[in-house]
Structure 1
Amino acid sequence: MRLSLATAAGVLLGTNAQLAPASEPESKQTVEMAPLLIVSPRIRSSWLTTPAAVSVVESNDASAEKSFTLQGLLASVPGVFSQNQYNLAQGLRPSIRGFGARGNFGVRGVRVLVDGVPLTMPDGQTELDGLDLGLVERLEVLRGPSSVLYGNAAGGVLNIETRQPPATPYSFFDLSAGELGYQRARVETGGSVGDIGGLLAFNSTQSDGYRDHARAETNSLTGKLRWYSDYGRLRIGFNAIDNRAEDPGGLRASEVDADRGQAAPNNLRYDADETIRQQRLSAVWDGFATGSDEYQLRSYVGQREFGNRLPFTGGGQTTFDRLFAGIGGQYSHNNEWLGMAHKITAGFDVETQRDDRRRYDNLLGERGAETLKEDENADSSGIFVEDQIDLAQNWQATLGVRYDRVRLSVDDRFLSDGDDSGSRNLEDWNYSAGLSYQLDAHQSIYAKIGTSFETPTISELANPAGGGFNPSLQPSHALNRELGLKGEWQTLRYDLAVYSMKLDDELVAYSLPGQSGRNFYRNAGESHREGVEMSLSWQLADAWRLSGAYTYSRFRFDEYQLDGADYSDNSLAGIPQQSLFTEIAFEQNDYYARLNLRAFDSMYANDANTVEVAGYALTNLRAGKRFKAGGQLWEPYVGVDNLFDREYYDNVRINDANGRYFEPGPGRTVYAGLRVTF
């Protein structure tokens, strides 16, 4: 596997000279790529000259996706590895350069934004369950530590842009169904009158899942308003969800051999599942200031009701009612000092979250006695400033600094076992510096150094010895050094990044015997990460596009002792050393088809590196046709996942004390759909 991945990557990426597009005859019409602009570095800038590793994925390049999770869109981004596509009770777990791999559910270590508004909670935890994937139009992935821009939990940034109210009115419905009980229905309408536009979308998805006890149902309603004026633009968004998902749990290797589709016995006995209801309201003002200056003000507020049942008795049911809110702003000023153009951006973020959390015994699915009752609070604030400097005709530099303060507290209201109230105040300064040199009109090289910090989330601070916070758990810190090369022509775009990262107090997940499905956390001393990331998008001809991504990573512990065992020089669990994505896409005369391959090296399931998970390769096919009939635009489509019916693991539960590491993924599955636009 390792030899084949490396060879394939070499064939895919080749050399600059080999990939530079040849001259086309004047009579031949060739699809051209527009120069790429990005916004994830807080200001709109040119992708080519920005000294950072940033990948962009357009939803137009991913037609006929099932839109079950974001995994299909993230697959083409180097340095990103996602698990848990099919167990919606745990949620998709994307990681960027290893940040995010530790979580048992949701997203950790990665800051997620939707239309410029944080989806990440103040304590650093993100759930993607509130996102209507049918609205996603564009993803920007800022790879590597980015705390100087986004503060806590910024091992990377996922910036999601969704569809905005259109100038021309439209309505459509999208129905799809497939194997494993998959059904999805979307209805969307939007339009504008004068300076005011609106959009409303409803999405309902159901799935029986590949394994027993894996049924899931998600429902979301999203509304948007947009108003233009001479002074700026106002965007208001609302989202509500109502989800329920069963959890089939992890299996031992012997259970996988006996029946890949079975659920863990205790997950059946205790009816393991989760339910979520959430409402969220956001408002963003993009304003025009003096000259070419710009500013933005943003705010959000929301409420979340959560309940789950875990596969054990003592404290096996959890509920919390959460209130969360945040405000932020930034101002970008353009000026010229000492003969050099400067674009200075300064801003702030203030966020808060309040949880009323309770635990009960799980009596085989029924609620038992209360075992925990506490108020958990997270408050975060940060200020930052960044200067983008045009040093000379081909030289650009960025310098930035940020200060963050995070306060996590718990007020214990279950006093029969003592008062476990307490608080943690965490603060940090972070910096970054980048330098970019444009080699010619189409290529640039850059160097970057930056730091980041990451606090444990409220749930990760749970004390394995009882209530309150784990007093020994500390935030982690990272120092990232990076070199990169980028190229952009009318029909070709590529990038190459090489990085080395040093981490202190790496956050590592583990579980306790008899509490499968619930994680606790510890620090692992010192570790380092080194990697190479390459990506390519090439318009071979008017109808053909080739894209690919290759990642090589070497993540190791430097100092890590646990219970008398020395794990120094062991590999980090849950991350393959190599991964490869390739796709060939065809689109002509309203027909389109895509064939892609996702291949992954082996990885370890535990810090001791005694359980190795085999690598695998999955092939996926998408095809569709657009045509007009009866005044409407029709688009039937079909998709095949895991075309060659390979066996693999959709998720690996890291450091599971019960040996239940494995969540098998499905074999070949087929789905089809129809989209009609009025």
Structure 2
Amino acid sequence: MRPSLLALAVAIVAPIPGMAQAPDTATALDPVVVTATRSPDDALLVPAAIDVIDADEIGRAQPKIDLSESLHRVPGVVARDRQNYAQDLQISIRGFGARATFGVRGVRLYTDGIPATMPDGQGQVSHFPLESAGRIEVLRGPFSALYGNASGGVISLFTAAAPDAPLLRAGVVAGDDGLWKSSLSFHTPWGRREPGARESGQPADGDFLLDLVDIESDGYREHSAATRRSGQALLRGTLASDGRYTLLLNSLDLQAQDPQGLTAEQLRGDRRAASDGALAFDIDKSVRQHQLGARIEQPLSDDHALSVTAHGGNRQTAQILSVPVVVQRENALHNGGVIDLDRDYFGIDGRWRWTTQLWDRPFALTTGVEYAVADEHRLGFENFIGERLGVVGALRRDERNRVTGRDVYVQADWEPAERWHVNVGARRSQVRFRSRDRFITDINPDDSGQLEYSRTSPVAGVLFRATDWLSVYANAGGGFETPTFSELAYRSDGLGGLNDALRPARSRNHELGLRARRERLQYSAALFQSRTEDELVVVANDGGRSIYDNAGASRRRGLELAAAGALSPHWHLAGSYTFLDARYLSDFAVCAQPPCADKDRLIEAGRHIPGLSRHFAWTELRWSPTAGTDILLDGRFVDRVYVDDGNTEAAPAYMRFDLAAERRFDAGGLEWRGFVRINNLFDRDIIGSVIVNSGGGRYYEPAPGRNWLIGVSASHSFD
């Protein structure tokens, strides 16, 4: 299995031999997994902001439907449930990724070491297997530059190890608005073990995990019904040569209506309404994805190790949009209102690690190469036939596109003194776009073309372990973020072809932090600043097209705090707080129709970057009167969120409280888990997410008022 967060290309990784280790009493994670934080205390050795959400925190009194249930525990991270399965979650880290109208931008995503982000930077999380998640690791800040085409950070999910005996589990969750989730899992170790080996803690040869999940919902809003089916099979084992391997297969089948965003006026009328265009064109989206990944880790000697990770998959997307008929009829170069996309993708990452001594102090060097490709066949059709709307009409677009990413990386880790740890590294990334136009007519010329972006991203960090329980660190790094194929699709001059005037965003990032772990209390703090040149922004929405340009310089700076601890044997308190000041530092122009000029609408320097709240706070109080019972009160505050670059409108600030209880017990030869949740306890009117710079002012995606969830699962161990 691919090492966790920093091990992909970084290898801040496993402790170097001779490095100060965690106390013997530390609770270790699965010993066969090489991670950046083998035990909780090993996080004290990493000069970066890394957080781990463990299995209990992911699943405690939660339905395990999406990442928004647990990522609020991590400061600096925003994961908004859009109440819209057609558009996935809205995730940002330190303000990067907030502009995404669909999918995830500016953040690298991995599941069990397999990328969920394409080479152009577009990512998806809808297939993440939360049902069997062992932990979620989140990396914030400069060290994410060593993952290539990203800016804000990295989110990586890892499947839990199978239990000692085969386990069969089934569960259901029901909730408001027709929500129904059913799941079935089978987890088992495999391979021969000597008698008494399990009692002595000897691991099996490997494990196998199978998870199937089916989710159906009528949706909180009109025209937001969805069905999502997903599955994952994971096989892990050992090789005769002391190596390890991992095989991963997952699939996703999604059918979802899209209610779109609401204007401020529509929001005042009916919060649960869909947009007029969503109803008129009956817009929806279907996705089918299949992915296979494999990893081999092989020690070559006591000092050398080699690992190779490969993956490949196919993602098919069909989507009807609400592009007005008149726009398509008046513009012969328009690409239509129906998307039919068939994407094949694959990649391979090979890396070598050498551990030795430098001036009699532990030293490690990691270097590797990564190659990734996404080939897509993109068709566009009119979304009407005569007077009929919301149907597949005449062909308006036929392209063969390819994006290729080539990366070379190196990282050096050194312990120059007993309490000091130094990391220096760099990654050279090259991203190439190629488009072949196959829809050529007398009035629609050949729009084929290609672009290439490249960048070297250095990073350096130093950590001082002041005590056995306290570390302070500082780091700095450069990063870049290319446009995606979707953002390159339209030019500001109205002509066809790739937007070759669009440049990648380049960032310089700095961070200072501390991390502490005491027996009953752990806490962390980080100060950061990122300055970005050529920020990517939407400068025009014209006939269903979002046209992107560069907005000069921008700055994100802030403070992140987190703490968790036991108040007593039965009471536990956890919380996080984020202050984020994100602003444009340069003037730029936007307009209703391109090309834009200063006389149209000037966005002045000093405006807030939209889609972000200046203050975010979360806290959870948990009472556990018995070993199998938890009662939780969860509260959060979200400051107002500007919805456009001009800061003319904003979603208001709000406070929300959730109440939940979970009970675990044995009965009838089965292990039972049941929970109940009441979300938005005081029935507040909340804007759950916003669509930045949305055309027609459809910025707002309201969240439900008071709503309930109830779930039960049963497990049988074949011991």
TM-score (norm 1): 0.92
1:95 has 2:92 as partner: yes
Q: Which residue of 2 aligns with 1:58?
A: 54
1:365 has 2:404 as partner: no
1:655 has 2:682 as partner: no
Q: Distance in 2 between matches of 1:489 and 1:581?
A: 22
Residue pair 1:227, 1:235 contacting (<8 A) in 2 also:
yes
Q: Distance in 2 between matches of 1:33 and 1:274?
A: 47
Q: Which residue of 1 aligns with 2:194?
A: none
Q: CA deviation at 1:154?
A: 4.0
Q: Distance in 2 between matches of 1:509 and 1:365?
A: 26
Q: Which residue of 2 aligns with 1:572?
A: 609
State how 1:274-673 maps to structure 2 within 5 Å: 274-291=285-302, 293-312=304-323, 313=325, 314=328, 315-363=336-384, 364-416=389-441, 417-464=444-491, 465-509=494-538, 512-515=541-544, 519-562=546-589, 563-564=597-598, 565-587=602-624, 588-673=626-711
One-letter identity of the residue aligned with 2:533: D
Residue pair 2:382, 2:396 contacting (<8 A) in 1 also:
yes
Specify whether residues 145 and 105 from structure 1 end up closer, same or farther in structure 2 by C-alpha distance, changes over 3 A only.
farther
1:46 has 2:42 as partner: yes
State how 1:244-283 maps to structure 2 within 5 Å: 244-283=255-294
Superposed CA deviations along residues 293-324 of structure 1, whole A, max 9, x for unmatched, are 43321100101111101112431100111110
Count of aligned residue pairs for this structure pair: 645
Residue pair 2:425, 2:458 contacting (<8 A) in 1 also:
yes
Superposed CA deviations along residues 570-599 of structure 1, whole A, max 9, x for unmatched, are 110000001001001223231112211121
Superposed CA deviations along residues 265-316 of structure 1, whole A, max 9, x for unmatched, are 1111111111001110010112223115433211001011111011124311
Residue pair 1:341, 1:389 contacting (<8 A) in 2 also:
yes
Q: CA deviation at 1:341?
A: 1.1
Instruction: State which of 192, 211, 232 in structure 1 corresponds to 2:221.
Output: 211
Specify whether residues 674 and 246 from structure 1 end up closer, same or farther in structure 2 by C-alpha distance, changes over 3 A only.
same
Q: Distance in 2 between matches of 1:215 and 1:39?
A: 41
Superposed CA deviations along residues 524-554 of structure 1, whole A, max 9, x for unmatched, are 1001111000001112222222111000011
Superposed CA deviations along residues 493-524 of structure 1, whole A, max 9, x for unmatched, are 11100011110011113552442xx5332211
Specify whether residues 98 and 461 from structure 1 end up closer, same or farther in structure 2 by C-alpha distance, changes over 3 A only.
same
Residue pair 1:147, 1:430 contacting (<8 A) in 2 also:
no
Q: Distance in 1 between matches of 2:151 and 2:300?
A: 29
Q: Secondary structure at the match of 1:519?
A: strand
One-letter identity of the residue aligned with 1:72: E
One-letter identity of the residue aligned with 1:457: T
Q: Distance in 2 between matches of 1:302 and 1:145?
A: 30
Q: Secondary structure at the match of 1:89?
A: coil
Q: Which residue of 1 aligns with 2:4?
A: none
Instruction: State which of 225, 243, 257 in structure 1 corresponds to 2:235.
Output: 225
Residue pair 2:490, 2:546 contacting (<8 A) in 1 also:
no
Q: Distance in 2 between matches of 1:387 and 1:362?
A: 54
Residue pair 1:145, 1:478 contacting (<8 A) in 2 also:
no
Residue pair 1:605, 1:613 contacting (<8 A) in 2 also:
yes
Q: Distance in 2 between matches of 1:164 and 1:89?
A: 32
One-letter identity of the residue aligned with 2:518: W
Residue pair 1:115, 1:160 contacting (<8 A) in 2 also:
yes
Q: Distance in 2 between matches of 1:169 and 1:85?
A: 37
Superposed CA deviations along residues 587-638 of structure 1, whole A, max 9, x for unmatched, are 3231112211121111211111111221111111221111111111111211
Specify whether residues 660 and 39 from structure 1 end up closer, same or farther in structure 2 by C-alpha distance, changes over 3 A only.
farther
Superposed CA deviations along residues 166-213 of structure 1, whole A, max 9, x for unmatched, are 442000101110111100000000212312432211100011111100
1:162 has 2:159 as partner: yes
1:129 has 2:135 as partner: no
Greater mean alpha carbon deviation, residues 225-234 or residues 625-634: 225-234
Superposition CA RMSD, Å? 1.8
Q: Secondary structure at the match of 1:256?
A: helix
Superposed CA deviations along residues 318-369 of structure 1, whole A, max 9, x for unmatched, are 0111110000022222110112211211111110010000101111111111
Q: Distance in 1 between matches of 2:561 and 2:371?
A: 36
Q: CA deviation at 1:39?
A: 6.7
Which blocks of at least 5 consecutive residues in structure 1 are unaligned? 1-31
TM-score (norm 2): 0.87
Q: Secondary structure at the match of 1:102?
A: coil
Q: Secondary structure at the match of 1:234?
A: strand
Residue pair 2:144, 2:154 contacting (<8 A) in 1 also:
no
One-letter identity of the residue aligned with 1:57: I
Q: Distance in 2 between matches of 1:519 and 1:501?
A: 26
Residue pair 1:401, 1:432 contacting (<8 A) in 2 also:
yes
Q: Secondary structure at the match of 2:393?
A: strand
Greater mean alpha carbon deviation, residues 172-181 or residues 160-169: 160-169
Q: Distance in 2 between matches of 1:285 and 1:537?
A: 36
Residue pair 1:165, 1:226 contacting (<8 A) in 2 also:
no
Q: CA deviation at 1:146?
A: 3.3
Q: Distance in 1 between matches of 2:679 and 2:496?
A: 44
One-letter identity of the residue aligned with 2:408: I
Residue pair 1:278, 1:305 contacting (<8 A) in 2 also:
yes
One-letter identity of the residue aligned with 1:269: A
Specify whether residues 267 and 511 from structure 1 end up closer, same or farther in structure 2 by C-alpha distance, changes over 3 A only.
farther
Specify whether residues 72 and 292 from structure 1 end up closer, same or farther in structure 2 by C-alpha distance, changes over 3 A only.
farther
Residue pair 1:437, 1:446 contacting (<8 A) in 2 also:
yes
Q: Distance in 1 between matches of 2:187 and 2:526?
A: 40
Q: Secondary structure at the match of 2:351?
A: strand
Q: Secondary structure at the match of 1:221?
A: strand
Q: Distance in 2 between matches of 1:511 and 1:204?
A: 39
Instruction: State which of 185, 189, 196 in structure 1 corresponds to 2:182.
Output: 185
Q: Distance in 1 between matches of 2:56 and 2:697?
A: 42
Q: Distance in 2 between matches of 1:146 and 1:598?
A: 28
Q: Secondary structure at the match of 1:658?
A: helix
Q: Distance in 2 between matches of 1:467 and 1:163?
A: 48
1:243 has 2:278 as partner: no
Residue pair 2:142, 2:459 contacting (<8 A) in 1 also:
no
Q: Distance in 2 between matches of 1:240 and 1:210?
A: 26
Q: Distance in 1 between matches of 2:373 and 2:351?
A: 19
Q: Distance in 2 between matches of 1:35 and 1:199?
A: 21
